[in-house]
């Protein structure tokens, strides 16, 4: 089923030296062609030059990601448009999305090569930044879009609309619009709810709101979410999945809707979503 597997790694990981060369030999022994990105090659000076991540994705049927959730989000930007599944191996710290431990990598690969694996299709959010009737930026995100203040310690003014209906005006440090997958990321640290990835919803969470009654709102993922930036607000950024930051200007509008793309994430068959939550969040521990 998988004849070519691409490897994408977190940049400058010193421990890749003990992981990647044996992995390449393991794949070669099973007749699997392996490609790796520039970051992997840079971390291992003994390897020939790597390839651009998009090129790796375009020639692979599966991407194996070595790193944390940030590395996976970067890989998702090239994998999701192509419909390529990702096998995430946690070499970071917390890692909600990278749910396989390093010692589980080879058993997982053996199961995958035998066709024994389950894929979780994660909904994604299309984000557009509009300025003067023009689209300045357009991307699909896995976790969240964040509108937030810059270096100056001033609150920003935002207006939220859902399906063209006015919801409220926020004075806050920012606003997070998250997918269910992203509910355990930045939104969680801003006191947003944890939402099961199968729930068809967006989570809208203010960051340090001026009004204490401003709380997270959960809406259907068929909704069009619009955030309007007040005309007198300065030093504001739109950050997408923590990967891209775009400066915003007065009267900019961010429009968000469900994407046609899906992230195909291979999950451990023996671990439920709630087991992963218990493990990562240390639920029930003294």
Domain ranges of the chain: 4-117+269-281, 124-261
Q: What is the mean pLDDT of residues 206-228?
A: 95
Q: What predicted TM-score, i.e. pTM, was given to this entire model?
A: 0.92
Q: Do residues 207 and 175 lie in contact, with contact meaning Cβ atoms separated by under 8 Å?
A: yes
Give me the half-sphere count of Cα atoms (radius 13 Å) on the Cβ side of residue 274. 1
| pLDDT of the residue at 153 | 60
Q: Does the fold of domain 124-261 match that of domain 4-117+269-281?
A: no
Q: What is the mean pLDDT of residues 231-254?
A: 91
Q: What is the mean pLDDT of residues 259-282?
A: 88
Q: Does the active-site annotation cover 232?
A: no
Q: Band the pLDDT of 286: cuts 50, 70, 90.
A: low
- Report how far residue 285's alpha carbon sits from residue 281's, in angstroms, rounded to the nearest whole number: 9
Q: What is the mean pLDDT of residues 122-140?
A: 96
Q: Is the pLDDT of residue 231 over 80?
A: no
Pick the CATH number of 4-117+269-281 from 3.40.50.150, 3.40.50.10330, 3.40.50.620, 3.40.50.2000: 3.40.50.10330
Of the residues 37, 42, 69, 157, which is catalytic? Answer: 69
Q: Is the pLDDT of residue 117 over 80?
A: yes
Q: Band the pLDDT of 119: cuts 50, 70, 90.
A: very high
Q: What is the mean pLDDT of residues 223-242?
A: 92
In angstroms, how far apart are the furthest CA atoms of the chain? 62
Per residue in 162-186, pLDDT (tens digit) is 999 999 999 999 999 999 999 999 9
Beta-sheet strand order (sheet of 144-149): 217-220, 201-207, 174-178, 144-149, 236-240, 244-248
Residue with the bigger pLDDT between 120 and 49: it is 120
Percent of the chain with pLDDT over 70: 98
Q: What mean pLDDT, rounded, does the chain reach?
A: 92
Extract the tokens encoding 59. Answer: 């020639």
Structural class in CATH, domain 124-261: mainly beta
């Amino acid at each position: 089923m998988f004849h070519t597997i691409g490897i994408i790694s977190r940049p400058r990981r010193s421990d890749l030296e003990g992981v990647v060369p044996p992995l390449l030999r393991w794949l070669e022994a099973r007749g699997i062609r392996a490609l790796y990105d520039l970051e992997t090659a840079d971390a291992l000076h003994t390897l020939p030059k790597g390839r651009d991540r998009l090129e790796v994705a375009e020639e692979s049927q599966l991407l194996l990601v070595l790193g944390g959730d940030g590395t996976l989000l970067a890989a998702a930007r090239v994998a999701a448009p192509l419909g390529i599944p990702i096998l995430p191996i946690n070499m970071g710290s917390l890692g909600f999305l990278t749910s396989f431990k390093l010692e589980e990598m080879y058993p997982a690969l053996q199961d995958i090569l035998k066709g024994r694996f389950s894929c979780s299709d994660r909904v994604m959010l299309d984000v557009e930044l509009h300025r003067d009737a023009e689209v300045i930026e357009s991307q699909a995100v896995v976790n969240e879009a964040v509108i937030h203040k810059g270096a100056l310690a001033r609150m920003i003014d935002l207006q939220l609309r859902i399906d063209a209906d006015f919801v409220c005006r926020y004075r806050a440090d920012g606003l997070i619009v998250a997918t269910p997958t992203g509910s355990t990321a930045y939104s969680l640290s801003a006191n947003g709810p944890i939402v099961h990835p199968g729930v068809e919803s967006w989570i809208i969470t203010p960051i340090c709101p001026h009004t204490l009654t401003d709380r997270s709102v959960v809406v259907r993922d068929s909704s069009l979410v619009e955030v309007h930036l007040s005309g007198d607000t300065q030093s504001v950024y739109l950050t997408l999945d923590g990967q891209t930051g775009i400066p915003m200007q007065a009267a900019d509008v961010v429009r968000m809707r469900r994407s046609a793309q899906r992230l195909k994430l291979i999950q451990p068959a023996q671990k439920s979503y709630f087991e992963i939550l218990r493990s990562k969040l240390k639920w029930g521990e003294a």
